[in-house]
Amino acid sequence: MLEKFPVNPPAPEGRVITCVEALREGLRQLMEQDPSIFLIGEDIGVYGGAFGVTAGLVDQFGEERVRDTPISEAALTGACVGSALTGMHPIGEMQFSDFVVLAMEQLVMQAAKIRFMFGGKASVPMVMRLAAGSGTGAAAQHSENLENWFVHVPGLKVVMPSNAYEAKGLLVSAVYDGNPVMFFENKLMYKTSCAVPEELYSIPLGKANVARAGKDLTIVATSIMVQRSLEAARQLAAEGIELEVVDPRTLNPLDDETLVNSVIKTGKLLIVHEAVQTGGFGGEVAARIAASPAFGYLEAPIRRLGGKDMPIPYNRNLEKHAVPQVEDIVEEARKLVRGAY
């Protein structure tokens, strides 16, 4: 099915929409052309979802294909797994990614393992959309980044778009991947805008994007941290420091080749993510670079910049200091380039 969609088409001039609009457009277009696709989740019908992504879709497709569920993450995930096994393409939505902990049995013990346990004779082509991240004053139980939990589970794919263009294209690929996909959408990203093609298109899973070319330092950043790293790069360019910003797009599968080639080019690496630093994805990237041909090109220690090892505070000032901000990225990058480590 993916073969029918253009891959990485150029973004059109003059058509700028938000990430919420891009996701809604992608969902609507997918459902219009494929009756096996349906949406299921908490308050996604009349209410339009916790962040408005599914607004209006129940009016077009009805309650059979935009299905509100009880507030039970285990139940809606089980429904996704079961329907996917029968040939449907369910797209689930949880109000906040934190609540995914209530569905771990269905995701880890069932969805991730069924294809392997049945020798490929059964598959679970489902997508679980999850609103993640801090910055909205939603406090400790509604602001987490748990993506690395799922990277650790064989059989699950993990996608983290960084803007509206990436979100729509990666969603198309996730729906037709044939495997269960965890689709993490940063809440602050929803209102950001960029140019997005109107037609359906795909962005391949497992292929990173060099969001900005540079020669002095490689920054590998995920989700909203891509946007913050690009802003840091713009600020440091005024000082004559050129950062290369690499967006993995998908954490599993991970595009090792693009990351390795970038580090060989620049000789320095900074990894930035919002999730807490201990046990975060940055450690995996650092380990892979250390075991690759890029290790011999390193001119400085690999550095990680992640969230502090604490629950996200409710207080807005404390919340801001709990996760990397643009100024933190600028400071770390400047130290690495200038040999302060």
Report angle CA 64, 83, 60 to the nearest 5 degrees: 25
Q: Residues 172, 202: contact at Cβ < 8 Å?
A: yes
- Write the CATH number for 112: 3.40.50.970
Q: Residues 27, 57: contact at Cβ < 8 Å?
A: yes
- Closest by Cα among 18, 175, 31, 159 to 97: 159
Distance CA 227, CA 285 (A): 19
| Domain assignment of residue 12, yes or no | no
| Domain assignment of residue 154, yes or no | yes
Q: Residues 263, 269: contact at Cβ < 8 Å?
A: yes
The secondary structure of residue 69, as a DSSP letter, is -
| Domain assignment of residue 10, yes or no | no
| Domain assignment of residue 1, yes or no | no
* Domain shared by 171 and 218, yes or no: no
* Domain shared by 281 and 231, yes or no: yes
* Domain shared by 43 and 136, yes or no: yes
Counting as low any pLDDT under 70, the low residues of the chain are: none
* Domain shared by 263 and 285, yes or no: yes
* Domain shared by 168 and 237, yes or no: no
Residue recorded with tokens 């599968």 = 253
pLDDT digits (tens, 9 = 90+) for 35-47: 999 999 999 999 9
* Domain shared by 166 and 231, yes or no: no
Beta strands in 144-242 (DSSP E): 157-159, 181-186, 193-195, 209-212, 217-221
Is 242 considered catalytic here? no
Task: Kindly tell me the sign of the dihedral angle through the C-alpha atoms of 24, 92, 155, 160.
Answer: positive
Say if residue 253 is preceded by a cis peptide, omega within 30 of 0: yes
Two tokens, residue 91: 């797209």
Distance CA 75, CA 136 (A): 27
| Domain assignment of residue 248, yes or no | yes
* Domain shared by 312 and 259, yes or no: yes
Annotated catalytic residue within 25, 42, 93, 142: 142
- Write the CATH number for 273: 3.40.50.920
User: What are the b/e assignments for 111-129, b being 16+ CB within 10 Å?
Assistant: bbbbbeeeeeeebbbbbbb
Quick one: pLDDT at residue 340? 79
* Domain shared by 236 and 136, yes or no: no
Task: Kindly tell me the sign of the dihedral angle through the C-alpha atoms of 160, 231, 282, 214.
Answer: positive
| Domain assignment of residue 101, yes or no | yes
pLDDT digits (tens, 9 = 90+) for 217-274: 999 999 999 999 999 999 999 999 999 999 999 999 999 999 999 999 999 999 999 9
* Domain shared by 156 and 62, yes or no: yes
Quick one: pLDDT at residue 41? 98
Quick one: pLDDT at residue 14? 87
* Domain shared by 216 and 181, yes or no: no
| Domain assignment of residue 203, yes or no | no
pLDDT digits (tens, 9 = 90+) for 174-193: 999 999 999 999 999 999 99
* Domain shared by 326 and 238, yes or no: yes
CB neighbour list of residue 194: distance below 8 Å, 6 or more residues apart? 11, 16, 163, 164, 165
Distance CA 198, CA 205 (A): 20
Distance, C-alpha 175 to centroid of its chain: 14
* Domain shared by 242 and 317, yes or no: yes
Annotated catalytic residue within 21, 25, 73, 147: 73
Is 321 considered catalytic here? no
Helices within 86-219 (DSSP H only)? 104, 114-117, 147-151, 164-175
- Which of 162, 195, 228 is the C-terminal boundary of a domain? 195
| Domain assignment of residue 75, yes or no | yes
- Which of 131, 163, 195 is the C-terminal boundary of a domain? 195
Number of domains present in the structure of the chain: 2
Domain that includes residue 256, residue range = 209-337
- Which of 195, 224, 257 is the C-terminal boundary of a domain? 195
The secondary structure of residue 202, as a DSSP letter, is B
Helix axis angle for 256-266 and 281-290, nearest 10°, is 70
Q: Residues 279, 249: contact at Cβ < 8 Å?
A: no
> pTM surpassing 0.75?
yes
